[in-house]
Structure 1
């Protein structure tokens, strides 16, 4: 009788262990790889964000339609900036390896960067140039778009941050 109880106890433990391993594998298979993060720092304020929803190509170039939609998207985390501040934008090393650019009201970077961060003068980010008149005006807020580039220089991931001038 004792032998039967011992084997039954071992069987329950074995069944529990198999069940735990199976549940763990099911849970892991349901997980998605998190997107890389982009970070904006102004003074002592830092905000970090995952890719903007609908703007992550999972390692592939975004389609033309996705890019058009992503460029017009507003949203993202907001950072308050005052005149004279430096705005620092950082990306993960994997993003830096691919190359990345920052777009504000207009192109902020002329060429892709392979560094993990870049600094920008806040006043420059709020400048808007009218293409018809060539006049420069200043805006009170701007959506800063960070784009990871793929081969062919099209974006494969985009992040959005809102910069607002301090009153």
Structure 2
């Protein structure tokens, strides 16, 4: 019969435990590495009309860095944006993430400034404004954009743009 010293059996279990601990630490490290490669989602903006709403991450920017004039012009031409039907007699409610409100934001209609900049998270505008030629509307749809600033009042710097298409309800 072969005999093993008493401490030898304990060492075998200790080796197994150490291997498991190293494997677990490696799995956690690999998971953190994969997560660090992911982009942080941009804050959401939401448009609500009656009982319908649509939310969107930034069409451009939204991470805090200033956009160039060329980037902004390109973003305003983007046609792949979410849409919502608007009854001109309804109120359009526009909400932004608190991070966007902190940086101050402005509502644009077809690329033209519609409101003064604000640090509130919520604004209301009558639906009829978005289809009124007096405010620059053309036809039965309007591009509503939310322009995030840099936190300075009345600044022209743009750090993010969220766009939605408003379609006139028949």
User: Residues 58-114 of structure 1, C-alpha deviation per residue, up to 9 Å, x if partnerless?
Assistant: 2121011111112222231110111201000100111111110111134321x1011
**Is the contact between residue 75 and residue 160 of structure 1 (CA under 8 Å) also seen in structure 2?**
no
**Is the contact between residue 130 and residue 137 of structure 2 (CA under 8 Å) also seen in structure 1?**
no
Indicate the residue corresponding to 1:166 in structure 2.
169
Indicate the residue corresponding to 1:133 in structure 2.
none
Decide whether aligned partners of structure 1 residues 91 and 22 sit closer, same or farther in structure 2, where only a CA change above 3 A counts. Answer: same
User: Residues 123-167 of structure 1, C-alpha deviation per residue, up to 9 Å, x if partnerless?
Assistant: 11112349xxxxx77521111111101254221100110111112
CA RMSD in angstroms, aligned pairs only: 2.0
Asked if 1:70 corresponds to 2:104, the answer is no
TM superposition outliers: structure 1 runs of 4+ over 3 Å = none
Q: TM-score, normalised by structure 2?
A: 0.84
Q: Structure 1: any 5+ residue segments left out of the alignment?
A: 131-135
Instruction: Point out the structure with max Rg over C-alpha.
Output: 2
Aligned equivalents of 1:32, 1:137: Cα separation in 2: 36
Q: Structure 2: any 5+ residue segments left out of the alignment?
A: 1-7
| Partner-residue secondary structure (3-state), 2:145 | strand
Aligned equivalents of 1:16, 1:35: Cα separation in 2: 34
Indicate the residue corresponding to 1:20 in structure 2.
27
What is the aligned residue count? 159
Offset of residue 13 of structure 1: 1.3
Superposed counterparts of 1:1-167, under 5 Å: 2-52=9-59, 55-56=60-61, 58-105=63-110, 106-109=112-115, 111-129=116-134, 139-150=139-150, 151=152, 152-167=155-170
